[in-house]
Structure 1
Amino acid sequence: MEAKGVLLESGTNELEIVEFNVANNKFGINVIKVREIINPIPVVTIPHSHKNIEGIIEIRGEILPVVNMAKVLGYPESEQPALDKYIVTEFNKQKIVFHVHGVDKIHRISWGDIEKPTNLYQSLESQIIGVVRKENDMILLLDFEKIVVDINPATGINNDRLKHVEKRDRSNFKIVVAEDSALLRKLLSDTLTEAGFQKVDFFENGKDALDYLEYSIKEEAELEKIVDLIITDIEMPIMDGLFLTKQVKEHPVLSKLPVVIFSSLITEDLRHKGQNVGANAQVSKPEIGELINIIDRLLNK
């Protein structure tokens, strides 16, 4: 836990991942999402629930859903269920349990060491957000937000979350967004357009966004003609959002730009990480309405 607190504290571009397995295949989840890892306990099945939901369990007075990762990934069930594990997680302001076949170890790595999925297996529907090479093995990092949204679309970004946002012309503002998930880029694009924004540039990771900004200010002397505000996720291969924010806030020209972190990792326990790198605001996914209101406040000072 002490090491976990150091990571990302000042934008190190590092993370720790918990390596787990499903049907002898290796996967990873960010340690920050993990509350605890427990042995299986009795599950209460729910009639007519989603096919990937095993049921619900009670942990210290809380009723939590259990997601069967073998079904999510299309693999056979565990051959030794007594050795299975439950990974209790918290992200997007909700707690969810993932049933896996085993938990191996924790790895400390750089976001720069995470390879982007190739076009052969990356698509809008892909559950893989990155690949980590370890000796002769590969660990696949999964898009847990997408797994949850596939089960319950209401938990994702959608236009219904804009009900309390004033619909008006925001087309004069220019926004740069760093978000690695193709699905979330599409959802963000749709909802930002619905809110009235028209000038939005999307990038798959923090490095691409930073490269664009640094190149643009060399070509165009006036920063205001390039971008008014940056929105960034935290978890991204190559360069994460905290490191991007730190680089922007330490830049002699870009530092005046407001940066909003829009991530599933925004909790009261973790909010200080964004504050330490100078973020102007932090919003938990999928609260797109709150994000628009904060953008309005930052751009209309």
Structure 2
Amino acid sequence: MREEQKGILLESGTNELEVIVFQVGSGIFGINVMKVREIIQAPSVTSMPNSHPHIEGIIRLRDEVLTVVNLTKVLGFPPSENPNQDKLIVSELNQIKVAFRVQGVSRIHRISWEQIEKPTELSQGLENATTGVVKMDEQMILLLDFEKIVVDINPDKGINVKQVQTLGRRERSNKKIVVAEDSAMLRKLLHETLAEAGYDQVTFFDDGKEAWAYLEFLKQDENHNIEDEVQLIITDLEMPKMDGHHLTKRIKSDEQLQSLPVVIFSSLITDDLYHKGKGVGADGQISKPEIVKLIKMIDKLVL
């Protein structure tokens, strides 16, 4: 399936994505095709003693040993009635591979990021792992935050201030940075880690569309020079309304903005996608959660 997926992937910067729809319990969910390496029938799983409650165990897939995360436990659904019919979605994110147990996989949908709504604060909740809602026909498809699911199980796979403390503080406070990141958890962590490094003038936006609107506003403000207000932009890739590739393409296609450095910071910086970032003009691409590499890249571009 992997090669077939690559064959239908979209050109960089079109603000579209392809979502694999699957079922867990009574819920319908989605995952970006670019995170999926393959989908297999669930084999026997070897249990691991003293593991996290969401970890079912491990499997051997060809030459690799993969951790199996049971999404029914993550999402609070009852156990699968027919576990022999279950599927495993083998994914690669944050530079690790992990298999997620689901009850069924239906099809691939091609959609625009504009179709994806942010979960409301009321429905999202503090512990909810949903990043967006896709309204399709009479169905509501929930996009799961797989990165958060992994970090909740193993916090070492996330971003933390201790990683940055090895760099030491430098005079960076005069630099202004714009960040487009849809995860509230990651916005908080980026705020803490960038401030620890000395970058304390950071303006955050929930998605690429909001960040673009801010840049458009600066363009129209005759009292300020854009390059005095923003020295660098950091963007995630997967975001409702406007993704990071489309945001980067817009910036690099704009005469007033194209000189601004843009760094893509995403769990999807794989070999398959790196060329897409280059194609839209990104000045740097760093894989989450490598915050030290991100700060070194920022230093290189603005100091």
TM range (shorter): over 0.9
Cα distance in 1 for residues equivalent to 2:65 and 2:172: 42
> Secondary structure at 2:301's aligned position in 1?
helix
Letter in 2 for 1:229: L
What is the alpha-carbon root mean square deviation over aligned residues? Answer: 1.3
The answer for the alignment partner of 1:266 in structure 2 is: 269
The answer for the alignment partner of 1:222 in structure 2 is: 225
Cα distance in 1 for residues equivalent to 2:5 and 2:300: 36
Match of 1:283 among 263, 275, 286: 286
How far apart are 1:164 and its partner, in Å? 3.7
> Secondary structure at 1:121's aligned position in 2?
helix
Letter in 2 for 1:275: K
Does structure 1 retain, via aligned residues, the 8 Å contact 2:5–2:33?
A: no
Cα distance in 1 for residues equivalent to 2:162 and 2:10: 33
Q: How does 1:1-301 map to 2 (within 5 A)?
A: 1=3, 4-5=6-7, 7-219=9-221, 220-300=223-303
> Secondary structure at 2:238's aligned position in 1?
coil
Q: Percent identity?
A: 59
> Secondary structure at 2:151's aligned position in 1?
helix
How far apart are 1:216 and its partner, in Å? 1.4
How far apart are 1:152 and its partner, in Å? 0.3
Cα deviation per residue 1:168-225 (whole Å; 9 max; x = unaligned)? 2210000000000000000110101111111100000001001001101211441222
TM-score, length of structure 1 as denominator length: 0.97
Cα distance in 1 for residues equivalent to 2:156 and 2:56: 19
Cα distance in 1 for residues equivalent to 2:114 and 2:58: 37
What is the total number of aligned residue pairs between the two structures?
300
Cα distance in 1 for residues equivalent to 2:35 and 2:216: 32
Q: Structure 1 unaligned segments of length 5 or more: list them.
A: none
Cα distance in 1 for residues equivalent to 2:281 and 2:11: 11
> Secondary structure at 1:255's aligned position in 2?
coil
TM-score, length of structure 2 as denominator length: 0.96
